[in-house]
Amino acid sequence: MNPEPKKYAHNPNMAATSFMQPEQPYFAHHPGRFFYLRDDESGELFSAPFAPIKAELDSFEFQPGLSDIKWKIKHSDIELEITLTLSPDLAAELWHVKVRNSDSQSRKVSLVPYFPVGYMSWMNMGAHFDDELNAVVCTSITPYQKLEDYAKNKHLKDITYLACDVKQRTLKPVCLDLKGRAVFIIQQDLATNVA
């Protein structure tokens, strides 16, 4: 696939890129992209398109297109339409999520995106939320082993970001809390009233 997504979503380990390293943080859902949706009143939770919670859905449609991929999911009278568009030229993904309540009474829900950036560098990596961009910005230094490689690598822009058009209320960029069927507390609330 070109442009290659490994430019912004890194493997959970760095095989054959250096000699000795400390234990690397491994996570099972790489390169997963999913969304958690929680009913804030009942506490019911499911993930979309399907994994990792694997809740039984009322309906599920997968629609591959010529320039995008679409999922239509329904669970407990909440409908999600998720569209993924890939650029032919840029290393970027555009995700668009529509949430619709098909029930007659209004509901309060939280939608949380899950995007594992991965193990970017053994030398230095970090993340912060930029209010001006309304985005999580992840940075790293490309690893090098020889002093001569520093000059080649110092100008590289190793940046991955997750931006949204809805203002975030809180943020917790820790993926270990946001997976699977385990007891789950969403710590990143993008609370939205869905009518």
- Reference 52, options 114, 9, 117, 119; nearest CA is 114
Find the DSSP H helices in the chain.
Answer: 147-153
pLDDT of residue 122: 66
Distance between CA atoms of residues 164 and 131, nearest Å: 11
Distance between CA atoms of residues 9 and 30, nearest Å: 9
Query: CB neighbours of 6 closer than 8 A, spacing ≥ 6?
Result: none
Distance from chain centroid for Cα 173: 10
pLDDT of residue 75: 95
What's the chain's length in residues?
195
Flag whether the pTM goes above 0.75: no
Distance between CA atoms of residues 59 and 132, nearest Å: 38
pLDDT of residue 192: 38
Q: What is the biggest distance separating any 2 CA atoms in the chain, rounded to whole angstroms?
A: 66
From residue 140, give the alpha-carbon distance in Å to each of 68, 71, 116, 174.
Answer: 30, 33, 15, 17
pLDDT, block means (10 residues), the chain with 195 residues: 58 58 56 83 88 89 94 95 90 90 92 75 76 86 77 79 79 54 34 38
pLDDT of residue 193: 36
pLDDT of residue 183: 30
Give me the half-sphere count of Cα atoms (radius 13 Å) on the Cβ side of residue 182.
9
From residue 168, give the alpha-carbon distance in Å to each of 49, 133, 160.
Answer: 22, 11, 18
Are residues 191 and 107 in contact, defined by beta-carbon separation less than 8 angstroms?
no
Distance between CA atoms of residues 9 and 3, nearest Å: 12
From residue 133, give the alpha-carbon distance in Å to each of 20, 114, 127, 146.
Answer: 37, 19, 14, 35
pLDDT of residue 32: 72
pLDDT of residue 101: 95
